[in-house]
Structure 1
Amino acid sequence: MNNIKNISIVFLVLIGLSFGSCSDDFLNEEQNSRYSTAYFDTPEGLEDLSVSLYGNIRWHFGFEWAYGITQYGTDEFTNANDLTNEMWNTYDNRLGPVGATTGTGAANGNATNPNALWDEMYYGIASANTIIAKAPTVITDVKVRNRVLAHGYFMRGYNYYRLTAQYGGVVLQTVPAQGVVRNFTRATEEQCWAQVISDLRNAYNLFEGEIYTYGKGITWTKATAAHFLAKALLFRSSERNNSWNSAYRTADYNEAKDACSYAISARGALTPDYNDLYSRWTGIDCPNEQLNEILMAAGHNGDAITSGRFGNRTYNYFSPQFSSFAGGWVARGVWIGSMDFQRCRPTEYSYAVYNHVNDARMWKTFKTVYGVTTLRTPNPNNVALGDPAVVMILNTKADNTYNGFTFGASVQNPTWKDVAGRLPAWGGASGARQTTTSGSLTTKVGQYAPASLVLYQNGTYVAPNFKATPICNFYAGINKTDDGSRTGERNDAHRDVIMARLAETYLLRAECYARLGQYGSAMADINVVRARAQWKAGENRSYYIDGSEAFKVNPLNTGTAATNFVNANLNMNTYYLSNPGQPVTTAASNLQLTSFPANLPAEDEAILSQIGASSDLDRALNFILNERTRELLGEYDRWETLSRTGTLIKRTKLFNPEAKFITAGKHELRPIPQTFIDGLLNEDNSNLSDAQKKAWQNPGY
């Protein structure tokens, strides 16, 4: 492509760049502008700059882009009634190079612009370039130099991974900019993946094993680099790049497999209980944030530096609008670990992909019960504080138990009436609260619940019909971001955001084995992940917990707030209501595959039949995509995974009815930001012609 020029600061290392001192905790970074760029000509300056790279990854979870560019427009999530980033889910004409504003049809001013990721990734790349250029001559201590270089290569490789995964070929700037750089070339996607892989290989070779070098917290190690090296190798040799990647495939699959093997051997077994990864988050820097399974996390705590512009906002995005459809019986507050911003609504596929009886991940992920926190008038059913207010029954298509029952959202007005009805076989006769060892859902038989939902009636998916707004706002949200440590209803969360963990590494290696035709080895890795997903002997299947538990040690947990916490968090799910006829049991379950990719579980066979997957490889890859949903639902990489594997268009069309305008040959890539293209100049400083600008843009935009 033609050489071009750009007036942009994104490739500059700016005076006043935020970095931190080498302290016991890499999160204790201080905003500091007292240093000039000359500081980066010292060993201390470069080490501080390498610590500051951890701040760049926090950006990914600080605003609406967290879900817009990663979760929307896939088979797993669609939009609810909030339409902030609707265009990223529907793929309508507002998803374009310019970005949507209220003037061009966006619901509000918070819509994610295509330049958000572009700009922020290049800020991190600029810092990494300075480290990589200067460290070999500035730092004489070999261990320190290797550590600093490993961080620089990892950040540059990771950021270019994100850019290339989203946009395809991008600008490769691998040396520090001197002043304002005005001459760039857009690299091909093949060149970009070569750069990503080279950087991550360098990081992998330079990291000193699993030594944590920057204090407490999940810091980048050799296993982190290995994990992302494997992802980059798989991306280069996956279906999106089939037009040019044939020469790489076998070698890439084998290298990716070996990289995964290092991470798996270095970090050991998966943490035994899926709840420990997300649900048992009990407060800032709790032990569960230090699990060996976690390979990379965006670090957050109570320090001011991890709030505000780079704060954790993810608790806003996965919960339904419970304060509305519950008719006011459930109020928002810090005691509930989420805000009901109703951004990400699970699709029918995201419920149906689980084995509802035997897969514990389903019941440790979806929140299906909220307790009454506020009494309303009139109250003809004598609803009491702490009664179930919102009850979501996640039954299956074959279940006919609830065909004749009336469900729905509560209506609160002067002529209020019960539209939800009384729930059948609602638990046992005991009035005791749920405990980790009690049997079934323990509350009153036939108890009234102000708002209730069921997935299927008469074999039809009816869940979207139970709503209080034009688009469904009533659904079972996921709990992986809930945070009861907030000091205000809308204040930032304090929990880390997991960006990579060992269970995904197993699934990546399984994919490598499948692509190499080694299906027995692939099945063995999948079964490791599924073994952790099984109910263990003695587990109470109707017990539920989430990050709201952090409120127990929150200083706000006094007086009315403490009472509301007890009322809101009933520690129960709807396992037995959702699986009618399932006897109360604390026996272990079994999810182990005995053949692969033939004779898969019924829930997978149903999905593969819809997709039309028939060859062994197609069945294997789509099964692994299903397993990734069950294990990694809501963990911010679904769009990239589907785009990589060439399944984005088919699976999204099949399972996301709102994605009406998704188009093959266009939406596998994101639009190059128009702000970037408009800043480009020719060699003679003239503006680009319309034809030149079009040549810079991805197809279809």
Structure 2
Amino acid sequence: MNKFKYIGISLLILTGLSFSSCSKDFLDEELTNQYSTEYFETPEGIQALTLSLYGNIRWHFGFEWAYGITLYGTDEFTNGNDLTNQMWNTYDSRLSPIRATASTGAANGNATGPEALWDELYYGIASCNTIIANADKITDLKIRNRCLAHAYFLRGYNYYRLTAQYGGVVLQTKPAVGVVRNFTRATEEQCWEQVITDLRNAYQLFEGEIFTYGKGITWTKATAAHFLAKALLFRSSERNDAWNSAYKEADMNEAISACTYAINARGPLTANYSDLYANWTGVDSAAEQQNEILMAAGHNADASTVGRFGNRTYSYFTPQFSVFSGGWVRRGVWIGSMDFQRCRPTEYTYGIYDHVNDARLWKTFKTVYGANNLVAPNAKGLQLGDPAIVMILNTKNDNTYNSYTFGAAIQNPTWKDDNSRLPSWTVGSRQTATTGALTTKIGQYSPNSLVLYQNGNYVAPNFKSGGTSFSNFFAGINKTDDGTRQAERGDSRRDVIMARLGETYLLRAECYVRLGQYANAMNDINIIRARAQWKNGENRSYYRDGSQAFETNALNTGTNATNYINSNLNMNTYYLSNPTIAVTTASSSLQLTTFPANLPAEDEAVLTKIGATTDYQRALHFILNERTRELIGEWQRWETLSRTGTLISRAKAFNPEAFGITANKHELRPIPQSFIDGLLNEDGSNLSTEQKKAWQNPGYTN
């Protein structure tokens, strides 16, 4: 497939591109930034500027803000030992209208400020405004509508993200003339009306599933439908209950219709959950071309087009394996990630899965690292390929490991892998068996071992190394691993999925719940859960992730190749974690038969802790749980909990580090002080102190 070479700054453009053909080889186009703003008022410039809009969405995954403003401070993730964005998780005083720096208490200079999202998304909105204002200069109606569809979509998407984070924001829908420093802040109701109007326009203007730029990277009618449904659902959700009563029923029905279009146009779901993320084999591989993917931030193998923001997400979900392994597992390009230990799963996250029957847990979490670097002295005779790190995801009622001593014992391991229940570890090669019994190689040691529960107590956070204050030893998720990187710290070259049908089904299910149509909601939920079940013939201890792309990486030679072979045994800890389960390749079932009564035990435990008792509360929280199982780490948890009015209760219940979270404050982000300080009154005078306070969200001070 010929994929457009994305650029990081939206006013850099490609020239010579015609919207009238889908067969153009975009990789042959030349980059240029030598045009004046007048160029973007010409038909050619408008088309080029439209194409450049795809670059704006790459920003979301270019640095620490990727997880800080989307995943931290929720029920799903807390911080590991790295504290770069700790304030976004703890909600302490450093999360303020002014960006925290090392001098004001941040761990380092990389902390995300509240202005990051604000500045970048208004940058994209400005490009959209230029296109919309000048589109009538394009005489070809099809091309004009394509330009308008893209501009309305990105403007709607950017205002969606701004309003979801900040509440009411500035609505600028026409190109600014000169320097403008006098603005009016719109209400949240006005903002959602603008978002919905823009996405409705995009939905009407897109030509069905026409892949204008190449399948896998192009926004289509289904993309607009998905986000239109999200916007309608947001407007009618709990955060806006003070004013949204007149919208609710109509919004839910329209959202259901939009979801139904996307599902019918782009379905069915990808058959195997692994194929969405774990089975990524390289740039433009089959994993990036699936119909289920509705929107992705595209990346490729051309370093010249990385631009300002590459994909930096490959390190944020990984434990600090190079430290607690004693050096036996090296950090490097053959691993697929670096051990930045940013996003550590909470007890809720591990526990919300059915550990026996839900394949998503074992296809998402990496639980084994093989030794790929033998360090002297090696008193216990560890060999290349031995399981240097093993993470056992057992459950609270499991007593198998009550008497074992676990942890990062580097030179004096106290746990020996001689239990007949353990899977086999094949020295020097990766496990590829798909059927048959799993035997044990007696005498192999696992010098670094973690278990979630002992004696009914959650002990995983106690595993630390090197005097760390927070746990740096945990099972991370694999949705961003990339074995094609060209340097240890090089940018990832895989796309980042931003929307897919798995979420669309859950959006429609939530709309049905809000209308009291629980049977319809259960039907959609069961479609998602049917894919999550083990299929007949699957080896439940088999594992893959994006590190496998190193197999065809040009760097895969010599020592690198040897280390890679021994770094990533294709094995998880399914049978270690479920010690009473006999080896099986039978199918499993996750189907609900009643809803919202008599839910699975893992859900009932959450509902009890949250205090969800009514049918609506139980159904809503179940969907939030199912969103974790299906969408863990997919960059939207904070906005989902804020939208549903559950952020405070669920963060307090399941994230011990979120100690500072406060109701009627942290459901919104602080408006950037840098923006407020730059405002002027209409007469050119500076804003007074009281006027500045009126611009700020409740509870925040500068």
TM-score by length of 1: 0.95
**Which residue number in structure 2 is paired with residue 78 of structure 1?**
78
Q: Does 1:176 align with 2:170?
A: no
Could you say if the C-alpha distance between residues 86 and 656 of structure 1 is closer, same or farther in structure 2, counting changes exceeding 3 Å? same
**Which residue number in structure 1 is paired with residue 155 of structure 2?**
156
Equivalent residues in 2 for 1:561-600, closer than 5 Å:
561-600=560-599
Runs of 5+ unmatched residues, structure 1: 1-14
Structure 1 range deviating more: 677-686 or 478-487: 677-686
Q: Which secondary structure does the structure 2 equivalent of 1:356 belong to?
A: coil
Could you say if the C-alpha distance between residues 616 and 308 of structure 1 is closer, same or farther in structure 2, counting changes exceeding 3 Å? same
Could you say if the C-alpha distance between residues 683 and 394 of structure 1 is closer, same or farther in structure 2, counting changes exceeding 3 Å? same
Q: Aligned partners of 1:169, 1:685: CA distance in 2, in Å?
A: 24
Q: C-alpha deviations, 1:204-259, integer Å up to 9, x for none? A: 00000001011343210000000000000000000000000000000000000100
CA drift of 1:599 comes to 0.4
Could you say if the C-alpha distance between residues 30 and 627 of structure 1 is closer, same or farther in structure 2, counting changes exceeding 3 Å? farther
Q: Aligned partners of 2:344, 2:578: CA distance in 1, in Å?
A: 22
Q: Which amino acid aligns with 1:298?
A: A
Q: Which amino acid aligns with 1:120?
A: E
CA drift of 1:182 comes to 2.7
Could you say if the C-alpha distance between residues 17 and 360 of structure 1 is closer, same or farther in structure 2, counting changes exceeding 3 Å? same
Structure 1 range deviating more: 143-152 or 420-429: 420-429
**Which residue number in structure 2 is paired with residue 124 of structure 1?**
124
Q: Aligned partners of 1:198, 1:430: CA distance in 2, in Å?
A: 57
| Aligned residues with identical type, % of pairs | 74
Equivalent residues in 2 for 1:537-552, closer than 5 Å:
537-552=536-551
Check whether the contact 1:153–1:202 (CA below 8 A) recurs between aligned residues.
Answer: yes
Could you say if the C-alpha distance between residues 174 and 429 of structure 1 is closer, same or farther in structure 2, counting changes exceeding 3 Å? closer
Q: Which secondary structure does the structure 2 equivalent of 1:46 belong to?
A: helix
Q: Does 1:115 align with 2:115?
A: yes
Q: Aligned partners of 1:429, 1:279: CA distance in 2, in Å?
A: 22
Q: Which secondary structure does the structure 2 equivalent of 1:513 belong to?
A: helix
Q: Does 1:458 align with 2:474?
A: no
Check whether the contact 2:423–2:575 (CA below 8 A) recurs between aligned residues.
Answer: no
Work out which of the residue numbers 431, 434, 437 in structure 2 matches 1:434. 431
Q: Which amino acid aligns with 2:580?
A: G
Check whether the contact 1:26–1:51 (CA below 8 A) recurs between aligned residues.
Answer: no
CA drift of 1:45 comes to 1.0
Q: C-alpha deviations, 1:402-446, integer Å up to 9, x for none? A: 0000100133xxxx4224554633535684742151446555245
Q: Does 1:444 align with 2:441?
A: yes
**Which residue number in structure 2 is paired with residue 46 of structure 1?**
46
Check whether the contact 1:541–1:586 (CA below 8 A) recurs between aligned residues.
Answer: yes
Q: Which amino acid aligns with 2:455?
A: N
Check whether the contact 1:364–1:544 (CA below 8 A) recurs between aligned residues.
Answer: yes
Q: Which secondary structure does the structure 1 equivalent of 2:445 belong to?
A: coil
Equivalent residues in 2 for 1:201-600, closer than 5 Å:
201-304=200-303, 306-307=305-306, 309-411=308-410, 416-422=411-417, 424-425=419-420, 427-428=422-423, 431=426, 433-439=430-436, 443-445=440-442, 447-468=444-465, 469-600=468-599
**Which residue number in structure 2 is paired with residue 66 of structure 1?**
66
CA drift of 1:31 comes to 4.6
Q: Aligned partners of 2:424, 2:36: CA distance in 1, in Å?
A: 70
CA drift of 1:687 comes to 1.1
Runs of 5+ unmatched residues, structure 2: 1-8, 19-23
CA drift of 1:310 comes to 1.1
Q: Which secondary structure does the structure 1 equivalent of 2:566 belong to?
A: helix
Check whether the contact 1:538–1:587 (CA below 8 A) recurs between aligned residues.
Answer: yes
Q: C-alpha deviations, 1:183-212, integer Å up to 9, x for none? A: 211000000000000000000000000010
Could you say if the C-alpha distance between residues 568 and 114 of structure 1 is closer, same or farther in structure 2, counting changes exceeding 3 Å? same
Check whether the contact 2:385–2:426 (CA below 8 A) recurs between aligned residues.
Answer: no
Q: C-alpha deviations, 1:298-338, integer Å up to 9, x for none? A: 00001235535210000010000000011111001111011
Q: Which secondary structure does the structure 2 equivalent of 1:385 belong to?
A: coil
**Which residue number in structure 1 is paired with residue 14 of structure 2?**
20
CA drift of 1:90 comes to 0.2
**Which residue number in structure 1 is paired with residue 95 of structure 2?**
95
CA drift of 1:378 comes to 2.2
Q: Which amino acid aligns with 1:554?
A: N
Check whether the contact 2:596–2:619 (CA below 8 A) recurs between aligned residues.
Answer: yes
Q: Which amino acid aligns with 1:505?
A: T
Q: Aligned partners of 2:469, 2:28: CA distance in 1, in Å?
A: 45
Check whether the contact 1:464–1:472 (CA below 8 A) recurs between aligned residues.
Answer: yes
Could you say if the C-alpha distance between residues 251 and 520 of structure 1 is closer, same or farther in structure 2, counting changes exceeding 3 Å? same
Q: Aligned partners of 1:47, 1:146: CA distance in 2, in Å?
A: 11
TM-score by length of 2: 0.95
Q: Which secondary structure does the structure 2 equivalent of 1:40 belong to?
A: helix
Check whether the contact 1:427–1:440 (CA below 8 A) recurs between aligned residues.
Answer: no
Q: Which secondary structure does the structure 1 equivalent of 2:198 belong to?
A: helix
CA drift of 1:668 comes to 0.2
Check whether the contact 1:441–1:576 (CA below 8 A) recurs between aligned residues.
Answer: no
**Which residue number in structure 2 is paired with residue 9 of structure 1?**
none
Q: Aligned partners of 1:383, 1:366: CA distance in 2, in Å?
A: 24
Q: Which amino acid aligns with 1:128?
A: C
Could you say if the C-alpha distance between residues 440 and 46 of structure 1 is closer, same or farther in structure 2, counting changes exceeding 3 Å? farther
Q: Aligned partners of 1:16, 1:248: CA distance in 2, in Å?
A: 35
Could you say if the C-alpha distance between residues 95 and 26 of structure 1 is closer, same or farther in structure 2, counting changes exceeding 3 Å? farther
Q: Which amino acid aligns with 2:88?
A: W
Q: Which secondary structure does the structure 2 equivalent of 1:260 belong to?
A: helix
Q: Aligned partners of 1:308, 1:141: CA distance in 2, in Å?
A: 31
CA drift of 1:41 comes to 2.2
Structure 1 range deviating more: 111-120 or 682-691: 682-691
Q: Aligned partners of 1:424, 1:440: CA distance in 2, in Å?
A: 15
Could you say if the C-alpha distance between residues 127 and 598 of structure 1 is closer, same or farther in structure 2, counting changes exceeding 3 Å? same
**Which residue number in structure 2 is paired with residue 4 of structure 1?**
none
Q: Aligned partners of 2:223, 2:303: CA distance in 1, in Å?
A: 27
Q: Aligned partners of 1:193, 1:441: CA distance in 2, in Å?
A: 55
Q: Aligned partners of 2:403, 2:221: CA distance in 1, in Å?
A: 57
Q: Aligned partners of 1:311, 1:437: CA distance in 2, in Å?
A: 36
Could you say if the C-alpha distance between residues 660 and 561 of structure 1 is closer, same or farther in structure 2, counting changes exceeding 3 Å? same
**Which residue number in structure 2 is paired with residue 32 of structure 1?**
32
Q: Aligned partners of 1:284, 1:215: CA distance in 2, in Å?
A: 14
Q: Aligned partners of 2:352, 2:590: CA distance in 1, in Å?
A: 13
Q: C-alpha deviations, 1:10-45, integer Å up to 9, x for none? A: xxxxx9921223274667775522111221222211
Q: Aligned partners of 1:233, 1:64: CA distance in 2, in Å?
A: 29
Structure 1 range deviating more: 70-79 or 421-430: 421-430
Q: Which secondary structure does the structure 2 equivalent of 1:98 belong to?
A: coil
Q: Which secondary structure does the structure 2 equivalent of 1:389 belong to?
A: strand
Structure 1 range deviating more: 512-521 or 212-221: 212-221
Q: Which secondary structure does the structure 1 equivalent of 2:14 belong to?
A: coil
CA drift of 1:78 comes to 0.2
